Amino acid sequence: MTTRTRRSSRRSEALSRERIIEAAIELLDADGEAGLTFRVLTARLSTGPGAIYWHVANKGELLDAATESVVAAAVPLDPAGSARSPREEIRAVALGLFEAIDGHPWLATQLATQLSRSPWGSVTPRIFEGIGRQVRALGVPESGWFTSTSALVHYILGAAGQNAVNGRTAQPGVDRGEFLDAVSTAWEELDPDDYSFTRAVAGQLRDHDDREQFLAGIDLVLAGVTAIHPPDGQRR
């Protein structure tokens, strides 16, 4: 009886929607969207396709659910007991998304798809809420909420997505330092009359840290937001 109960418990856990989404994320991380098929998923879960279709109707719904799960973990809407300032909270949300996209190479494409094709779903509102609450807390007037939040969201997703692409497209077997050194060297050898600026920053490219550069960009956007939309009490 005990053995039968344990088997039943394991089977129930394997067939839950949460377990299916977890397995889907594991497959996406390993092999990308092409590697996520219901055949492979049923083999991973040791079940039949009918049991999976009971919880998710198709691959599109499964991709949406996997995206929602990762974003929900990266962007908590109610950080318990946080003593951070609004600016610090924005940096924390931004870095959470940066690391989620960096850790899940398929995520950038899915976020772009959801933001453009189904902005009414749970992902877009969660990201906007996570950033927008803090924009409001900065004292930005209501007329500037949407534009300011949109600018931050577009920067975060664009920069984080590009970073993830750069990590995937570097030459196989070449580490990041070697890759950046090769690019910097090529920039330094450009024609000085046509590419004076690019040559001048080549050394900065060689030595930069991706996360620090990303967060510096957040600070630049926030500086612009607060300069254009100062809190009501600071307006002249």
97-110 pLDDT per residue, tens:
999 999 998 999 99
Torsion of CA 28, 30, 32, 34, to 10 degrees: -100
In this predicted structure, what is the pLDDT of residue 1? 45
Any domain includes 223: yes
In this predicted structure, what is the pLDDT of residue 101? 95
Residues 120 and 228 in one domain: yes
Quote the number of domains for the chain. Answer: 2
Residues 48 and 154 in one domain: no
Average pLDDT over residues 7-31: 78
The two tokens of residue 158 are 């664009």
Alpha carbon 32 to chain centroid, angstroms: 15
Residues 110 and 175 in one domain: yes
Judged against a pLDDT cut of 60, whether residue 13 lies above it is answered with: no
68: closest CA among 35, 103, 115, 34?
A: 115
Any domain includes 38: yes
Name the pTM for this structure: 0.83
Residues 52 and 85 in one domain: no
Q: For the chain, percent helix, then strand, then coil, each to nearest 5?
A: 75, 0, 25
Q: Is 206 in contact with 181 (CB distance < 8 Å)?
A: yes
Q: Which of 56, 71, 100 is the last residue of a domain?
A: 56
CATH number of 132's domain: 1.10.357.10
Judged against a pLDDT cut of 80, whether residue 16 lies above it is answered with: yes
CATH number of 31's domain: 1.10.10.60
Q: Give CA–CA dist 42/45, Å, rounded.
A: 5
Judged against a pLDDT cut of 60, whether residue 19 lies above it is answered with: yes
Q: What angle do CA 79, 80, 84 make, to 5 degrees?
A: 65
Any domain includes 74: no
Residues 29 and 92 in one domain: no
Structure-token match 């600026």, residue found: 197
Average pLDDT over residues 82-95: 91
- In residues, how long is the chain? 236
Q: Is 99 in contact with 58 (CB distance < 8 Å)?
A: no
Any domain includes 217: yes
Give the model confidence (pLDDT) of 152-195 as tens digits.
999 999 999 988 877 665 555 667 788 889 899 999 999 999 99
Any domain includes 101: yes
Please provide the DSSP assignment of 102-142 as one string: HH-TTHHHHHHHHHHH-TTSSHHHHHHHHHHHHHHHTT--G
Any domain includes 106: yes
Residues 196 and 98 in one domain: yes
In this predicted structure, what is the pLDDT of residue 167? 63
The two tokens of residue 49 are 């396709």
Phi and psi at 55, nearest 5°, equal -100, -35
42: containing domain: 1-56
Q: What angle do CA 103, 35, 111 make, to 5 degrees?
A: 45
Residues 51 and 118 in one domain: no
Residues 51 and 86 in one domain: no
Q: Is 29 in contact with 40 (CB distance < 8 Å)?
A: no
Any domain includes 7: yes
Residues 115 and 192 in one domain: yes
Residues 124 and 198 in one domain: yes
Q: Give CA–CA dist 28/65, Å, rounded.
A: 12
In this predicted structure, what is the pLDDT of residue 81? 60
In this predicted structure, what is the pLDDT of residue 9? 44
Residues 101 and 204 in one domain: yes
Residues 104 and 43 in one domain: no
